[in-house]
A and B are shown apart, each in its own frame.
Chain A
Amino acid sequence: MSRVRPPKLFASFFKWYCRSALRETILGDLEEQFEDDLELYGKHKARRRFAWTVIRFFRPGIIKTFNKTQNSKASGMIKNDFKTTLRIIKKEKLYTGINVLGLTSGFSIALLILSYVYFEFSYEDYNPKANRMARITIDYLDGETLIDQDCESYHLLGPMMKEEFPEVEDYVRTYGMDDAVLRINEESFRANRVYAVDKNFFELFNYPLLKGNTQTALTKSLEMVLTESAAMKYFGTIDILGKTAWVSVIGGEMKVVGVIKDSPANTHLKFDLLFSYSTMQNTLDQRNSPWDSNDTYTYALLKQESQMTQFEESLDRLSTRLLEDETIKNERIIAQNIKDIHLHSHKSFEAEPNGSATIVFFLLGVALLVIVIAIVNYINLATAKSFDRAKEVGIRKVIGSSKAQLRSRFYIESVTINLISAGLALTVILLVQDTFKHIGGLPESFNPIHYPIFWAVFVSLILFSTFFAGSFPAFILSSFKPISVLKGKFSHSSKGTIMRKGLVVFQFAIAIFLLVQTLASSEQLEYMQEKDLGLNAEQVVVVSAPATENEIKKFESFRNELLSSNSFKAVAFSNTVPGLPTSTMGSTTGVKLVSGDDHNFNFYFYFMNRYFIPTMEFNLLAGENFKKNMAGRPVIVNEAAMKLWGIHDPADAIDKKLHFWNSDKTIIGVIENFHQTGVKTDHIPTIFMHSTGFGSYISVRVTPDNINQKLIELEEKYKSIFQSPFEFFFLDQKFDSHFRSERQFQTIFSILSSFALIITCLGLFGLASYTITKRKKEIGIRKVLGASVNQIITLLSKDFLLLIAIAGIISLPITYLIVRKWLDTYAYRIDISPWLFVIPAGFVLVVAFLTIFFRTFQVSHANPVLSLKDD
């Protein structure tokens, strides 16, 4: 190991500022202290203390004299510029306030949103191999049409690729399992994210083991690796190598061979428990054919990043070959880079719901707009004020200021205001970052200010804003002709006025767009939350089913026990429930309607007992529910499935035969469409199969009122019959959780739009105040001549309101297009009504009027004598 050195940055900082006469001995002392600290306190504290001491040394007496070589005249001038800037800031409190407030909000919003965007884009970045890794997924086809995409693939594909494709360096498979129950010393725990993985999982995904040996871990059957927090939860310690636990999905003891850090927040594949792949080999081998089910995530590591196309071509050839010898039917094998998964992949059976690139870019765009609005405010106010500064500029020019010097003056003003705002923005970010993380759904551990990119953006924002905000006033003001200005023959340039008006229109156009979009997304969210799901999700508690075969046999007695109480109305058993992701369901292609045409579709499956349909209160459109001891192989389908076979009347579907899984099935009932994963997505074609011994969830419909009491009762009864841990969720809450990303988007968007509107109005307020001050005398004369208060208010407001009207006319058509496009991403969406546009536009107009009214009201009531007596 190399020697630990003091932090380089601070060492060079010290060398830079310290007097040369003192440098050597102090640096020696510092280093000696560092070495001592290293032994006493360890690496981190020693480095911290070094940094702190270097900062403490930064004081007069130690710091060398700078500026010896600089032009003292120039630095004196800059000093003077700062002084006058500070004077102006003090004198013009209103204008400074408006600018600082606007820029501060702009900076903080932009930085927070940018860090959110950065996080969303950082998925898989922790893994240096990510660029070379691809996930193998399956496309289901009906002829040439793509009907569904599945991100799970066949478990034979991995070994095949490595053997046949020269570009594949290695592969890793992860086989996702249902919840597992662990029993450790008579105590039971549930684990949710359980995968059986090939032994090179740690190498390919770059996860070092905290305990255990990466080379040997997960090489043998019945071995498992736990994450740190899983280990703490189940064992209370991470020193658990060699310990064993009984595991439900295996039905036996498994040995702990490693402990790993918790999976990073920015990976698409998060896990709690990893089994060796060979543990599952038995289950996989029991199948008739390895090509029957695709239920494994397969990842390939390419030798080089550039080989992605080559790899895709190889997969294409493989698909064609497998199709030709009829190993697979109606599907193709494709690949996607794992870095594209989080934002761009929305296939079935994703390991977790992924983010959306559209939303991320949308927010990024809006954050930039907010910043632009704030900068525009500065430009507008500064140029408006420039006429007051005209005399100052004139005198300075006469005395001998060059244009460059004048420009630097105005840049210094811009620098000062921007630096103050940036400092405030940092404070604001630190204050609100926890709230922001909560709203944005970011992990607790995410801390934007720890990333260098945050500071890079921070500095560039300041530079960008300083430059743009400073440039306009600097160039306009420095170009004034001193003689005419000093003579007082200075006329308001119409060019400047037009530019200012244009900028106001621009700001309000953006504000109107943001408000319309906010209203539309909130209406859409409300619509989705209230839409009929096709079942009654209220008052249903879903309990995780017990883990062992023996316990499952006791279902009937558990059901009778519950129904004997008044608290419970219905109890049913199923492999999944509505509201859970499709990854909990089975799916299959190759379902054929006997005597139908030869199309291929992907169908999803429910396995359930006969109580399930009444418990969920699905609407049976035709036929009947499953009954006890039914002959044949009855199935129930939903409308979406029926439509795929070209049947339109539910009654026609009854008694039709289906052929799949090597036998004929009879349709005995059709139920109304229901939403499996919330209203965002379309109804999925579903086939319900009857089963008495297979399931993961027990759904219990409880009677209303006093829900807590009933939960306690439910738990008591559960524990009196089963040994597995009791875990439950409310069905309606599960449905609600599908709107999580919508709600986040909605909240962030509302905040952004409010700020955009506030900043815009601040600017308007500043401009209006300025105009009114300029026209004080005119107003006085008008009043003397008999103008009424109303007339004066109209006179003063009319110009501004006209600008806002123009903003509306420009903004609304573009807004309409954007909102329509956005709504089109939803399967079920609100209709675009005129109110969606009229209300926000009207609101902006009213707010703007009130902003101006605040100023005009004062002036129109003022005594004309006050404004006229001076001349």
Chain B
Amino acid sequence: MGRTNFLGEFEELILTMVLILDDNAYGNTVVKAIKEHQNREVNLSSVHITLYRLEEKGFLKSYMAGATQKRGGRKKRYFKATNSGVALLREMKTSRTNLWKLTPQLNFGA
């Protein structure tokens, strides 16, 4: 189905955040990063659901590690973008830039 090659706005945001966070991407850090970079409050549950969906679609992979005292000694599920995830993001960016180039360019200068 074509759906696998398509990302929703929120999915794209999450995937990008995982890329930005590099080795430190898990539920809480993604929520915080979205708050920090986009000034947008998102619920932990939405982030989790999206992360799992992206993993199912093959754009992310996950592994468990890094238990801390603060989490009651529970492990984190870290996410990393897969090659196809990075490729998809890049592809989306290029296609958007190409589209943008087709719009009549307005000049607001003097």
Interface residues of A (CB under 8 A from B): 22, 24-33, 35-36, 52-53, 56-57, 59, 61-62
Q: Does B67 contact A (CB under 8 A)?
A: yes
**Cβ < 8 Å to A, chain B residues 23-79:** 26-28, 31, 43-46, 48-49, 52-53, 64, 67-68, 70-72, 74-77
- How far, in whole Å, are A28 and B53 apart by their CA atoms in the complex? 20
- How far, in whole Å, are A836 and B46 apart by their CA atoms in the complex? 66
| Minimum distance in angstroms from B72 CB to a CB of chain A | 5
Which range holds the interface residue count of chain B?
20 to 34
23 A-B pairs whose Cβ atoms sit less than 8 Å apart in the complex? A24-B75, A25-B26, A25-B64, A25-B74, A25-B75, A25-B76, A26-B27, A26-B48, A27-B72, A28-B74, A29-B48, A30-B44, A31-B70, A31-B71, A32-B28, A33-B31, A52-B43, A53-B45, A57-B45, A57-B48, A59-B45, A61-B49, A62-B48
- How far, in whole Å, are A24 and B71 apart by their CA atoms in the complex? 10
- How far, in whole Å, are A59 and B47 apart by their CA atoms in the complex? 13
| Extra pairs beyond A31-B71, A61-B52 (7, CB < 8 Å) | A28-B76, A29-B28, A31-B72, A33-B31, A53-B43, A53-B45, A59-B45
Interface residues of B (CB under 8 A from A): 26-28, 31, 43-46, 48-49, 52-53, 64, 67-68, 70-72, 74-77
CB atoms of A35 and B70 under 8 A apart = yes
- How far, in whole Å, are A30 and B76 apart by their CA atoms in the complex? 11
- How far, in whole Å, are A688 and B77 apart by their CA atoms in the complex? 87
CB atoms of A31 and B74 under 8 A apart = yes
- How far, in whole Å, are A292 and B68 apart by their CA atoms in the complex? 74
CB atoms of A62 and B27 under 8 A apart = no
CB atoms of A56 and B70 under 8 A apart = no
Chain B residues, CB < 8 A from A59:
45, 49
Chain B residues, CB < 8 A from A25:
26-27, 64, 74-77
Chain B residues, CB < 8 A from A29:
26-28, 44, 48, 71, 76
Q: Which residue of A lies closest to B56 (CB)?
A: A61
Chain A residues, CB < 8 A from B43:
52-53, 56
Chain A residues, CB < 8 A from B49:
59, 61-62
- How far, in whole Å, are A26 and B46 apart by their CA atoms in the complex? 12
Most buried by B among A27, A32, A33: A32
- How far, in whole Å, are A33 and B29 apart by their CA atoms in the complex? 10
CB atoms of B45 and A56 under 8 A apart = yes
- How far, in whole Å, are A521 and B51 apart by their CA atoms in the complex? 68
Chain B residues, CB < 8 A from A53:
43-45
Q: Which residue of A lies closest to B68 (CB)?
A: A32
Q: Which residue of A lies closest to B46 (CB)?
A: A56
Chain B residues, CB < 8 A from A35:
70
Known interface pairs A33-B31, A61-B52; A28-B45 also in contact (CB < 8 Å):
no
Chain B residues, CB < 8 A from A30:
44
- How far, in whole Å, are A29 and B77 apart by their CA atoms in the complex? 9
Overall SS of chain B's interface: helix
Chain A residues, CB < 8 A from B67:
28
Chain A residues, CB < 8 A from B71:
28-29, 31-32
Known interface pairs A33-B28, A33-B31, A61-B52; A27-B74 also in contact (CB < 8 Å):
yes
| Minimum distance in angstroms from A45 CB to a CB of chain B | 13
- How far, in whole Å, are A29 and B68 apart by their CA atoms in the complex? 11
Q: Give the A-B contact count at a CB cut-off of 8 A.
A: 62
Chain B residues, CB < 8 A from A62:
45, 48-49
Chain A residues, CB < 8 A from B76:
25, 28-29
Chain A residues, CB < 8 A from B68:
32
Chain B residues, CB < 8 A from A28:
67, 71-72, 74-76
| Minimum distance in angstroms from B64 CB to a CB of chain A | 6
Chain A residues, CB < 8 A from B74:
24-25, 27-28, 31
| Minimum distance in angstroms from A49 CB to a CB of chain B | 9
Chain A residues, CB < 8 A from B64:
24-25
- How far, in whole Å, are A61 and B48 apart by their CA atoms in the complex? 10
Chain B residues, CB < 8 A from A32:
28, 68, 70-71
CB atoms of B44 and A33 under 8 A apart = yes
Q: Which 7 A-B pairs have the closest CB atoms?
A: A28-B74, A28-B71, A29-B27, A25-B77, A56-B45, A57-B45, A32-B71
Q: Which residue of B lies closest to A24 (CB)?
A: B74
Chain A residues, CB < 8 A from B44:
29-30, 33, 53, 56-57
Q: Which residue of A lies closest to B73 (CB)?
A: A28
- How far, in whole Å, are A665 and B45 apart by their CA atoms in the complex? 86
Chain A residues, CB < 8 A from B52:
22, 61
Chain A residues, CB < 8 A from B46:
56
Chain B residues, CB < 8 A from A52:
43
Q: Which residue of A lies closest to B32 (CB)?
A: A36
- How far, in whole Å, are A28 and B75 apart by their CA atoms in the complex? 7
- How far, in whole Å, are A841 and B44 apart by their CA atoms in the complex? 64
| Minimum distance in angstroms from A624 CB to a CB of chain B | 84
| Minimum distance in angstroms from A54 CB to a CB of chain B | 8
Most buried by A among B45, B52, B76, B77: B45
Q: Which residue of B lies closest to A54 (CB)?
A: B45
| Minimum distance in angstroms from A17 CB to a CB of chain B | 12
Q: Which residue of A lies closest to B27 (CB)?
A: A29
- How far, in whole Å, are A56 and B41 apart by their CA atoms in the complex? 14
| Minimum distance in angstroms from B55 CB to a CB of chain A | 11
- How far, in whole Å, are A36 and B32 apart by their CA atoms in the complex? 11
- How far, in whole Å, are A57 and B46 apart by their CA atoms in the complex? 8
Q: Which residue of A lies closest to B67 (CB)?
A: A28
| Minimum distance in angstroms from A28 CB to a CB of chain B | 3
- How far, in whole Å, are A57 and B50 apart by their CA atoms in the complex? 12
- How far, in whole Å, are A30 and B28 apart by their CA atoms in the complex? 8
Chain A residues, CB < 8 A from B28:
29, 32-33, 36
Chain B residues, CB < 8 A from A27:
72, 74
Chain A residues, CB < 8 A from B45:
53, 56-57, 59, 62
Chain B residues, CB < 8 A from A36:
28
- How far, in whole Å, are A31 and B44 apart by their CA atoms in the complex? 11
- How far, in whole Å, are A475 and B27 apart by their CA atoms in the complex? 55
| Minimum distance in angstroms from B71 CB to a CB of chain A | 4
| Minimum distance in angstroms from A282 CB to a CB of chain B | 62
- How far, in whole Å, are A36 and B45 apart by their CA atoms in the complex? 16
| Minimum distance in angstroms from A51 CB to a CB of chain B | 12
Chain A residues, CB < 8 A from B27:
25-26, 29
Most buried by B among A24, A28, A30, A36: A28
- How far, in whole Å, are A25 and B30 apart by their CA atoms in the complex? 14
| Minimum distance in angstroms from A496 CB to a CB of chain B | 54
Chain B residues, CB < 8 A from A61:
49, 52-53
Chain A residues, CB < 8 A from B70:
31-32, 35
- How far, in whole Å, are A26 and B28 apart by their CA atoms in the complex? 10
Chain B residues, CB < 8 A from A24:
64, 74-75
- How far, in whole Å, are A29 and B31 apart by their CA atoms in the complex? 10
| Minimum distance in angstroms from B24 CB to a CB of chain A | 13
Q: Which residue of A lies closest to B44 (CB)?
A: A53
Q: Which residue of A lies closest to B74 (CB)?
A: A28
- How far, in whole Å, are A32 and B76 apart by their CA atoms in the complex? 10
- How far, in whole Å, are A26 and B48 apart by their CA atoms in the complex? 8
Chain A residues, CB < 8 A from B77:
25
Chain B residues, CB < 8 A from A56:
43-46
| Minimum distance in angstroms from A186 CB to a CB of chain B | 51
- How far, in whole Å, are A468 and B72 apart by their CA atoms in the complex? 48
- How far, in whole Å, are A61 and B26 apart by their CA atoms in the complex? 18
Q: Which residue of A lies closest to B52 (CB)?
A: A61
Q: Which residue of A lies closest to B69 (CB)?
A: A35
| Minimum distance in angstroms from A8 CB to a CB of chain B | 13
- How far, in whole Å, are A4 and B88 apart by their CA atoms in the complex? 44
- How far, in whole Å, are A25 and B28 apart by their CA atoms in the complex? 11
- How far, in whole Å, are A660 and B75 apart by their CA atoms in the complex? 87
- How far, in whole Å, are A61 and B52 apart by their CA atoms in the complex? 8
- How far, in whole Å, are A22 and B75 apart by their CA atoms in the complex? 11
Q: Which residue of B lies closest to A6 (CB)?
A: B72
- How far, in whole Å, are A602 and B68 apart by their CA atoms in the complex? 77
Q: Which residue of A lies closest to B71 (CB)?
A: A28
| Minimum distance in angstroms from A339 CB to a CB of chain B | 44
| Minimum distance in angstroms from A775 CB to a CB of chain B | 60
Q: Which residue of A lies closest to B26 (CB)?
A: A29
| Minimum distance in angstroms from A311 CB to a CB of chain B | 52
